[in-house]
Amino acid sequence: MSSRPRVVIIGGGFGGLYAAQSLRGAPLEVTLVDRRNFHLFQPLLYQVATGGLSPGDVSSPLRYVLRRQKNARVLLAEAVDFDVAARKVLLRDGEALEYDFLVVATGAQTNYFSNQEWQERAPGLKSVEDATEIRRRILTAFETAERHPEGSDRDAWLTFVVIGGGPTGVELAGSIAELARDTLPRDFRHIDTRRARIVLVEGRDRLLPAFSEKLSRAARQSLMELGVEVRTDTMVKAIEAGRVRLEGPDGQEELAARTVLWGAGVRASPLGETLAERTGAETDRGGRLMVEPDLSLKGHPEIMVIGDLACFTHQTGSPLPGVAPVAIQQGKHVSRVVRARMQGKQSGPAFRYSDRGNLATIGRSRAVAEIGPVKMSGLPAWLLWVVVHIYWLIEFENRLLVLIQWAWSYFTWNRSARLITGADGRGGPADHTESGGTESSREGSREEKKEEEAA
């Protein structure tokens, strides 16, 4: 081994991957550790969940992305603990990785707050497996409705409740509506999929609270045009088998719904908690670690935390949002800090987030966008969304294909990746909120989800 400083980066999401790339050409040994062998392009995951794209279309092998970066290697492994005094990362398989600089970017996972039991009944959308599970549930619901006699149970199978009015919830609700209205109608003989009911529930008084009020209204309008029922100021009180209880401005309401999806919140990955214990770092309510202006931990200038795992408050007084642009910019900032420290400086330059605006898509030709003072909605915003994502995807090279796939879906209204896969996908419809699949396979997937983001 050489004596060049070793940088260990944990997590191959936007933060970790851009951190690794920003160190290209530096006289360092960079090791990127992830439990998965691919980077997931999360902004398009909802397309996988609704059958528009395949998992392979929104993933790039980490080794492939970094193949030309000579000072970087990829390690498929799970970090489980830290020895911060000895500067070591401990891996699940018993090995230890020494570091001179450590970058932790293990992101966030779906948060059910104090209702962990909802996890099984209302899956979140963070991993490829989450997406194919949601896809399975949505498609199985239509299949089951097709086989049910007309009546309330058929209606419950045709009712989809999406909890959370942030970008994930809005995108999911819009896509399900398009699937039901445009893609599926001709496929079924007994049900009219256009009559499917899609309900989007948000606890606050408007959708997309990170956007301006005007755009929140535009988003709501677009969703309503697609036939989505939007309930703001509404809290979820209970999720039971085939039923959701809501409490809104007009009192309590019970919806008979067989498919419930969760986009209401995230919390920091469990590895963040371990890191906080080992370093004494403070965390916020969501489990994110408070970082110094240069993204390092207090008392540990050699450890940086970035992306959804970091709580950065030095710019505006409130934490930066957990979105891809923040993670990317923080990832790129890592190289500045490392270079400064290698030049003997006590601390790195302060991170500054440059907010280039907000974008959310609602469906085909429908989106909302906010770039500084400019606000747009409808087709112009959607075209902007497409251009931005094209530009972004091209950084991952051969992802151009995804665009061709998109263009294709756009002109044909088809969604070609409508596969029901996994153990539960066999043997016909089942009540997926209660039974479905063997006990053993469900145990497996439950465990998976729990450990999801502890890369």
Burial 268-294 (b: 16+ CB within 10 A, else e): bbbbbebbbebbebebeebbbbbbbeb
**Taking CB under 8 A as the criterion, which residues in 312-351 touch a copy of itself?**
none
Q: Which amino acid is at 452?
A: E
Backbone phi and psi for residue 109, each to the nearest 5 degrees, phi listed first: -130, 165
89 vs 417 by CB, closer to a copy of itself: 417
**Taking CB under 8 A as the criterion, which residues in 9-28 touch a copy of itself?**
none
Burial 7-26 (b: 16+ CB within 10 A, else e): bbbbbbbbbbbbbbbbbeeb
453 is catalytic: no
> Shortest approach of a copy of itself to residue 440 CB, angstroms?
4
Distance CA 44, CA 35 (A): 21
> Shortest approach of a copy of itself to residue 235 CB, angstroms?
34
279 vs 445 by CB, closer to a copy of itself: 445
Burial class (CB in 10 A: 0-12, 13-18, 19+), 386: middle
55 vs 165 by CB, closer to a copy of itself: 55
Of 37, 5, 14, 7, nearest to 310 by C-alpha is: 14
29 three-class SS: strand
DSSP bridge pairs for 268 = 108
> Shortest approach of a copy of itself to residue 395 CB, angstroms?
15
**Which structure tokens are listed for 283?**
């965390």
Distance CA 243, CA 344 (A): 61
**Which structure tokens are listed for 73?**
């290697």
Residue selected from 5, 24, 61, 265 as contacting a copy of itself according to rule CB under 8 A: 61
Residue 189 engages a copy of itself in binding (rule: CB under 8 A): yes
Which parts of 363-399 fold into alpha helices (H)?
Answer: 379-394
Residue selected from 100, 153, 229, 451 as contacting a copy of itself according to rule CB under 8 A: 451
Residue 68 engages a copy of itself in binding (rule: CB under 8 A): yes
Distance CA 248, CA 444 (A): 36
Annotated active-site residue in 29, 171, 370, 452: 171
Binding pattern for the stretch 413-442 against a copy of itself, x by CB under 8 A and - elsewhere: -x-xxxxxxxx-xxxxx-------xx-xx-
Residue 412 engages a copy of itself in binding (rule: CB under 8 A): yes
Binding pattern for the stretch 286-305 against a copy of itself, x by CB under 8 A and - elsewhere: --------------------
Query: Do 181 and 230 meet the contact criterion of CB atoms below 8 Å apart?
Result: no
34 vs 308 by CB, closer to a copy of itself: 34
Write the CB contacts of 1 (distance below 8 Å, at least 6 apart in sequence). 29
Total residues in contact with a copy of itself, by rule CB under 8 A: 69
**Taking CB under 8 A as the criterion, which residues in 27-56 touch a copy of itself?**
35-38, 53-56
Interface residue list for a copy of itself (CB under 8 A): 35-38, 53-57, 59-61, 63-64, 67-68, 73-78, 91-93, 128-129, 139, 143, 146-147, 184, 186-190, 398-401, 404-405, 408, 412, 414, 416-423, 425-429, 437-438, 440-441, 443-445, 447-448, 451
Catalytic residues: 171
